[in-house]
């Protein structure tokens, strides 16, 4: 990723930091293995730069994945949850500041259908164990407190993480169709004894095949 202008090297374990162009059953796919986070100290424009560059280079669809904590005890570790909507609680927005890229004067983009109903339906039809949920994106970089998790549940969140929401807004603003899926790697604070990043990484590796199969189904629907 560092060979591409504007993309810093990921610093978070589990983010490979590579970009690859691959063929998935006849569909050309640009795979970004790693992302930039606000909690690494980068401005929001840097966080969404890779997604914006991909869309402006011709990618009409953006599939976003993340590891997330589950606020629902019935949706445990290893489950894939299709994102139906989001809560941007990062305290910033990629459409703030100077005029964003794209058509001038189109800053105030409509987020009513931020996550593609068509692609969500394709994902849900793939496996009846997959559910949908609302993803709450926070700044990070610590995990949340039990009190914060109770607050998020009151706000309507099913999942919590430290990414995705800004990238989804930036991609949608440029006209891309957006799909998001969270892999539950831990139960949120207060629902499990402790949260450890190494356990999060291990859960991600264990569910790799499940996530690949789901993404392949969504790509086939493009």
Q: What is residue 200's predicted lDDT score, i.e. its pLDDT?
A: 65
Tens-place pLDDT, residues 17-61 = 899 999 999 999 999 988 999 999 999 999 999 999 999 999 999
Q: What percent of the chain has pLDDT over 70?
A: 94
Q: What percent of the chain has pLDDT over 90?
A: 70
Q: What is residue 204's predicted lDDT score, i.e. its pLDDT?
A: 65
Q: What is residue 16's predicted lDDT score, i.e. its pLDDT?
A: 75
Mean pLDDT over all residues of the chain?
91
Classified by CATH at the fold level, domain 61-220 comes out as Rossmann fold (3.40.50)
Q: What is residue 109's predicted lDDT score, i.e. its pLDDT?
A: 94
| pLDDT at residue 67 is higher than 70 | yes
pLDDT band at 172 (very low <50, low <70, confident <90, very high): very high
3-state secondary structure the chain: CCCCCCCCCCCCCCCCCEEEEEEECCEEEEEEECCCCHHHCCCHHHHCHHHHHHHHCCCCEEEEEEEEEECCCCCCCCCEEEEEEEEEECCCCCCCCCCCCCCCCCCCCCCCCCCCHHHHHHHHHHCCCCEEEEEEEECCCCCCCHHHHHHHHHHCCCEEECCCHHHHHHHHHCCCEEEEEEEEEEECECCECCCCHHHHHHHHHHCHHHHHHHHHHHHHCC
Domain ranges of the chain: 61-220
pLDDT band at 196 (very low <50, low <70, confident <90, very high): low
Q: What is residue 137's predicted lDDT score, i.e. its pLDDT?
A: 98
Tens-place pLDDT, residues 82-114 = 999 999 999 999 999 999 998 887 899 999 999
């Amino acid at each position: 990723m560092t060979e591409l202008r504007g993309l810093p090297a990921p610093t978070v374990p589990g983010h490979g930091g590579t970009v690859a162009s691959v063929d998935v059953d006849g569909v050309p796919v640009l795979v970004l293995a790693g992302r930039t986070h606000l909690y690494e100290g980068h401005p929001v424009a840097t966080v969404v730069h890779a997604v914006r560059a991909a869309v402006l280079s011709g990618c009409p669809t953006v599939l976003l994945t993340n590891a997330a904590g589950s606020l629902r005890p019935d949706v445990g570790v290893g489950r894939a949850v299709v994102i139906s909507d989001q809560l941007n609680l990062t305290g910033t927005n990629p459409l703030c500041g100077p005029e964003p890229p794209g058509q001038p004067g189109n800053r105030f983009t409509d987020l009513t259908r931020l996550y593609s109903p068509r692609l969500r339906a394709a994902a849900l039809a793939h496996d009846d164990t997959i559910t949908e949920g609302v993803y709450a994106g926070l700044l990070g970089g610590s995990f949340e407190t039990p009190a914060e998790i109770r607050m998020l549940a009151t706000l309507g969140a099913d999942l919590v993480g430290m990414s995705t929401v800004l990238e989804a807004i930036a991609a949608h603003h440029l006209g891309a169709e957006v799909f998001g899926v969270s892999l539950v790697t831990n139960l949120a604070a207060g629902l499990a004894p402790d949260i450890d990043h190494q356990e999060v990484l291990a859960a991600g590796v264990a569910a790799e095949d499940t996530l690949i199969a789901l993404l392949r189904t969504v790509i086939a629907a493009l």
